[in-house]
A and B are shown apart, each in its own frame.
Chain A
Amino acid sequence: MIRVELPAPLRTLARVDDEVCLEIGGPVTQRAVLDALEARYPVLSGTIRDHVTRRRRPFVRFFACAEDLSHQSPDALLPDAVASGAEAFLVVGAMAGG
């Protein structure tokens, strides 16, 4: 079970109050997690990554295990602690503004 923590605006949009738990069949990668997340919550499609390019939106970051994974390949394996559910995969709205 993969645990995903969403930023408040996306929790409101998806109508969830807490972490989201997802089952991933194959390798646990950013792409697999986001595919599963969007399948469960279609309203999140286009909010984390672009509909057409499938690239991460510029002001969205991915953190886990106290590391910034935003610039890793979407097909790179996520840390074992994320794959085991010990740590959450964090989707974060980047700090931007004054």
Chain B
Amino acid sequence: MSRVRVLVGTRKGAFILESDGKRRQWEVSGPHFGGWEIYHIKGSPADPNRIYASQSSGWFGQIVQRSDDGGKSWEAVGNKFAYDGVPGTHQWYDGTAHPWEFKRVWHFEPSLTDPDTVYAGVEDAALFKSTDGGQTWDELSGLRGHGSGPRWQPGAGGMCLHTILLDPSDPARAFIAISAAGAFRTDDGGRKWRPINQGLRSEQIPDPTAEVGHCVHRIAMHPSRPNVLFMQKHWDVMRSDNAGDSWHEVSGNLPTDFGFTIDVHSHEPETIYVVPIKSDSEHYPLDGKLTVYRSRTGGHEWEALGSGLPQRDCYVNVLRDAMAVDSLDSCGVYFGTTGGQVYGSADAGDTWAPIVRDLPAVVSVEVQTLS
């Protein structure tokens, strides 16, 4: 029988939640790496026993942990993320030039085919790749070398490369997103990159339609249609039907189109999920009601999904990497909150129930569907 493993990164450690395919009873293990921030923990699609975790602390920096047995045991691997060449500068909050400095890994994206190959999106924004299971890391410096790098600037959370999408139909194509530079695409395996922000409009920057400078919060893709991308921008939910060459807004009837996370149903490429957040200054749900919104039409038309979620006095946030889906017949959807709850739905979002309620603030949620 199929099983589900939910990998949860929090401000004070990692937790692993496991259930059978019914997704009613859950076993919780953790904290792993207690006391450390776990920005992201993700398993390899090619070998579900291989898991990578980003462990960091303000005191002791970045550690990369790797498991080869599904999270039962861990080994610290390479943590040297050295920028290629002279790093140069990007814009600081006050507009001055600021040297590129490595701070932490925000996101690991394991290869779709090779467990030893994994990509790391880091702050200050850059993309690294390892082909030896995380022992050594090399920067794909063509991204920072695009030419617009000196104009990139940090969002409130830092200048992070937080989204990495690998195109399953074309090994040479990948998409990344940076707060607050925008989205970029490579078509040659990471040597050259170009911004893909046409159609984005951000009133918070001097030129609202600039080539770079947009605060993209998250991009999602269905593996069967890699040319169709969905984006939760700072404000606005966006869609591209041409691999990012252009975008159009699909916020439709959402009560607010600010938010952080977005994801796609595992079997229905036109079904997408967001968690609307009140505003960029009030990072909590509208009216204290935690509500997921689902569109079955690829945007524009949204329905509120609040059954089983707190509908009063709830003022948590759901961060950009804190939602994921499983691939069981009835798609499971999961998300974690800054209040430490992880909610799951075994019926594609119709009803929800908490899996755990009192973890540290949840930063990331990933799901493995195990056969």
Option from B36, B61, B76, B82 in Cβ contact (under 8 Å) with A57: B61
Interface residues of B in 174-233 (CB under 8 A from A): none
User: Smallest CB-CB separation from A51: which chain B residue?
Assistant: B80
Q: Check A93–B82 contact: CB distance below 8 A.
A: no
In the bound complex, CA of A60 to CA of B76 (Å) = 20
Q: Check A46–B59 contact: CB distance below 8 A.
A: no
Residues of A within 8 A of B35 (CB): 9
A52 close to B (CB within 8 Å): yes
B: contact size bracket: 10 to 19
Say how far A77's CB is from chain B's closest CB, in angstroms: 26
Q: Check A93–B76 contact: CB distance below 8 A.
A: no
Q: Using A45-B79, A46-B79, A51-B82 as known contacts, say yes or no to A9 and B57 having CB atoms under 8 A apart.
A: yes
Residues of B within 8 A of A7 (CB): 59
Say how far A56's CB is from chain B's closest CB, in angstroms: 11
A66 close to B (CB within 8 Å): no
In the bound complex, CA of A43 to CA of B135 (Å) = 11
Q: Using A13-B76, A45-B79 as known contacts, say yes or no to A60 and B59 having CB atoms under 8 A apart.
A: yes
User: Would you give the 0/1 interface string for A41-54, flagging 1 where the beta carbon is closer than 8 Å to chain B?
Assistant: 00101111011100
Residues of B within 8 A of A96 (CB): 58-59
User: Smallest CB-CB separation from B75: which chain A residue?
Assistant: A43
B295 close to A (CB within 8 Å): no
Q: Check B59–A94 contact: CB distance below 8 A.
A: yes
Interface residues of B in 48-106 (CB under 8 A from A): 57-63, 76, 79-82, 102
Q: Check A43–B76 contact: CB distance below 8 A.
A: yes
User: Smallest CB-CB separation from B81: which chain A residue?
Assistant: A51
In the bound complex, CA of A47 to CA of B80 (Å) = 10
Q: Check A46–B76 contact: CB distance below 8 A.
A: no
Residues of B within 8 A of A46 (CB): 61-62, 79-80
In the bound complex, CA of A90 to CA of B134 (Å) = 30
- Footprint of A on B, CB under 8 Å? 35-36, 57-63, 76, 79-82, 102
